[in-house]
Amino acid sequence: MNQVDVAIVGAGPAGSSAAIFLARKGYSVALIDKEQFPREKLCGDFINPANWPSLRALGVTENILARRHEKVTKFRLTASSGEEAEVALSADSDRDGAGLGLSRLDLDEILLEKAASEGATVFQRSRIKGLTRGLKTWTLEIDRGRILQQLRAPMLIGADGRNSWLAHHLGMTGRTAMRASSVGFQLHLNSSHPSNGKIEIHLFPGGYAGIVGLGDHTLTLGFAIEKSRLYHRQSPQQVLNSSLALNPHLKDILHRNQIVGAMRSTYPVYFPSRRSYGEGVLLVGDAARVSEPVTGEGVYFALKSGELAALTIDQAFCKSDFSAASFYRYERDCRSAFAVRRRANALIRWLIYRPVLLAPLIRFSNKRTRLLDSIVHLVCQPENA
């Protein structure tokens, strides 16, 4: 029986962020994931400029910039009716004003390696086969590939994504969680044309697509489509032709570039926030609250919630209080930290599925960019560390 202070289920950005901050404070941390890293992850692959303070605090900026990436300085928005508008992400030309096109494979590997270097014990290819709560301690039974191991910890963090096994197992999900209407997809494209440092959002009836360059002539195409518009046994090309190609700008991009590899999908794209705390347990990142990916803020929410969870757990150890009541402050702190961005996300999500309303805004912004500038600034502005 092994004993640690904190067991974290899920080694993506949220789990690794919590592990890094906790390990730095001297806590023994077990970081557990069912996958072997590096591994592919369905994602838009856009690092919003808002992430720079968090990445600096984690100490990974130079590691990230050493990987293949593309600097992103502009935002482009188009509608299926032909309208388009383009603005700068920031008036500043320095690094904090720019985003990055970076593969999640690279980002997650960097964060996991950082967590290990700070002292966290990493369990890869390890599945949770059993979870019980004692008087003051969680007991996890871990399957490490024909090797069963038990791990005990007074504190548990669920960082295992939107369809969190841990959240479901502990009854922290509601019935509304799976009533979402859209399915998310991801493709990679081999491009013979430069992307010119842009993050692009293209609207089409029933959904939207985001495109960003990763460097070396590679593009990530992520898109969401209302489930009612998809048909059984559609091929990837049929999905593209029936939905994405309805936007002339997007149709041209698909025509000029070659699809590389397989198309991946996920469901749901979005569902409402769930309770993120309980007796001796916190949920972070997508396990706690899934944000519509149109604004590219998912990584920001993950990293920041991991940091807030580490702060809350440190206070719990200092007071020897792991009650659900004491962990309510974590949910309160998350609401406070994310309030403005979540309201902006809700408005943008509402508009994105109503192109009839959004098209006039795009047309207006083509000549008068102040309104679109304000929205992009709100979403992308880095905060103080």
Whether residue 233 sits in one domain with residue 123:
no
On whether residue 48 sits in a domain, the answer given is no
Whether residue 233 sits in one domain with residue 204:
yes
Whether residue 110 sits in one domain with residue 235:
no
Whether residue 287 sits in one domain with residue 260:
no
The tens-digit pLDDT sequence of the chain (385 residues) is 599 999 999 999 999 999 999 999 999 999 999 999 999 999 999 999 999 999 999 999 999 999 999 999 999 999 999 999 999 887 665 667 899 999 999 999 999 999 999 999 999 999 999 999 998 999 999 999 888 999 999 999 999 998 899 999 998 876 554 455 889 999 999 987 777 899 999 999 989 999 999 998 999 999 999 888 888 778 888 889 889 999 999 999 999 999 998 899 988 887 777 889 999 999 999 998 777 777 788 999 999 999 999 999 999 999 999 999 999 999 999 999 998 888 888 888 888 888 788 888 888 888 888 888 888 888 888 875 4
Whether residue 207 sits in one domain with residue 123:
no
* Domain of 358, in residue numbers: 68-101+181-269+354-385
On whether residue 55 sits in a domain, the answer given is no
17: left (phi over 0), alpha (psi -120 to 50) or beta: alpha
CATH number for the domain that contains residue 289: 3.50.50.60
Instruction: Write out the two tokens for 295.
Output: 């604004």
Q: What is the pLDDT of residue 354?
A: 82
Whether residue 284 sits in one domain with residue 307:
yes
Whether residue 335 sits in one domain with residue 316:
yes
Contacts of 340 (CB under 8 A, 6+ apart): 378
On whether residue 47 sits in a domain, the answer given is no
Helices (DSSP H) in 170-231: which residue ranges?
none
On whether residue 302 sits in a domain, the answer given is yes
Whether residue 235 sits in one domain with residue 338:
no
Which own/partner pairs from 209-213 qualify as long-range (CB within 8 Å, at least 24 positions apart)?
209/244, 209/247, 209/250, 210/44, 210/46, 210/293, 210/294, 210/296, 211/253, 212/44, 212/45, 212/46, 212/70, 212/72, 212/101, 213/70, 213/72, 213/101
Q: What is the pLDDT of residue 93?
A: 56
On whether residue 124 sits in a domain, the answer given is yes
Q: What is the pLDDT of residue 225?
A: 92
On whether residue 284 sits in a domain, the answer given is yes
Q: What is the pLDDT of residue 176?
A: 53
On whether residue 145 sits in a domain, the answer given is yes
Whether residue 261 sits in one domain with residue 190:
yes
- Kindly report the pTM of this predicted structure: 0.93
- 3-state DSSP assignment of residue 290: strand
On whether residue 28 sits in a domain, the answer given is yes
**Number of domains forming the structure of the chain:** 2
Q: What is the pLDDT of residue 385?
A: 40
Whether residue 120 sits in one domain with residue 35:
yes
Is there a contact between 32 and 130 (Cβ–Cβ < 8 Å)?
A: no
Whether residue 218 sits in one domain with residue 332:
no
- 3-state DSSP assignment of residue 59: coil
Whether residue 148 sits in one domain with residue 164:
yes
- Antiparallel, parallel or unpaired: β 155-158 and 281-283: parallel
One-letter amino acid identity for 234?
Q
CATH number for the domain that contains residue 218: 3.30.9.100
Round to whole Å and give the CA distance between 13 and 306: 8
